[in-house]
């Protein structure tokens, strides 16, 4: 039987100060530079709401079968240390998850360790998928790709 709850976490060290990394995460417009899912559909429809970089700011997307449909909202922002996001997937399956990015200084003032954590519950189709392939194996690679792209964006800033 698949576990009811899941937790996925990946981390990376970036040669950029926390404020630079934070700005790339705390502004949904910047996610096109690093999110692993942004490139799944060249015609992805994006809508932004609320003030950039503030609690309550939102982002919604609608795309092909791979990109799906859903929305995200910033729920807590602690510059330059953390960004919390509520994520709601509508297609290809329904799910509501919590995401937290933590950014901690590493070594000198020019380094950061970024952790990307997502938690949620295996419900509906998620329970079935989790029996066949654990959520960590299903999404963990995407987190790694996203963090690698975030590193490239931050170090090139």
**CATH number of the domain that 42 lies in?**
3.30.530.20
Instruction: Look at residue 38 and give its three-state secondary structure.
Output: coil
What CA–CA distance (Å, rounded) separates 65 from 139?
A: 16
Determine phi and psi for 153, rounding to 5 degrees: -65, -45
Q: What is the pLDDT of residue 140?
A: 79
pTM, full prediction: 0.89
The first and second tokens of residue 87, run together, are 């994520």
Q: What is the pLDDT of residue 124?
A: 61
Domain with 150, as residue range(s), is: 5-155
What CA–CA distance (Å, rounded) separates 133 from 128?
A: 9
What CA–CA distance (Å, rounded) separates 21 from 107?
A: 15
Q: What is the pLDDT of residue 1?
A: 47
Q: What is the mean pLDDT of each run of 10 residues along the chain (157 residues)?
A: 78 97 98 92 94 96 92 98 96 90 90 96 63 66 95 92
Listed in sequence order, the residues at least 6 apart from 141 whose beta carbon sits closer than 8 Å to its beta carbon are: none
Q: What is the pLDDT of residue 130?
A: 56
Domain count, the chain: 1
Q: What is the pLDDT of residue 121?
A: 84
């Amino acid at each position: 039987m698949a576990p009811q709850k899941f937790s996925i976490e990946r981390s990376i060290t970036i040669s950029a100060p926390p404020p630079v990394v934070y700005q790339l995460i705390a502004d949904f417009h910047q996610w096109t530079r690093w999110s692993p899912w942004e490139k799944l559909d060249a015609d992805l429809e994006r809508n932004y709401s609320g003030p950039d970089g503030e609690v309550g700011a939102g982002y919604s997307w609608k795309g092909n079968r791979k990109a799906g449909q859903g929305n995200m909202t910033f729920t807590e922002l602690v510059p330059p240390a953390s960004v919390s996001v509520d994520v709601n997937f509508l297609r290809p399956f329904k799910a509501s998850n919590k995401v937290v990015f933590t950014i901690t200084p590493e070594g000198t003032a020019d380094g950061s360790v970024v952790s990307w954590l997502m938690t949620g519950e295996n419900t509906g189709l998620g329970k079935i998928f989790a029996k066949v392939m654990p959520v960590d194996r299903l999404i963990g690679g995407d987190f790694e790709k996203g963090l690698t792209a975030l590193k490239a964006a931050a170090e090139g800033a």
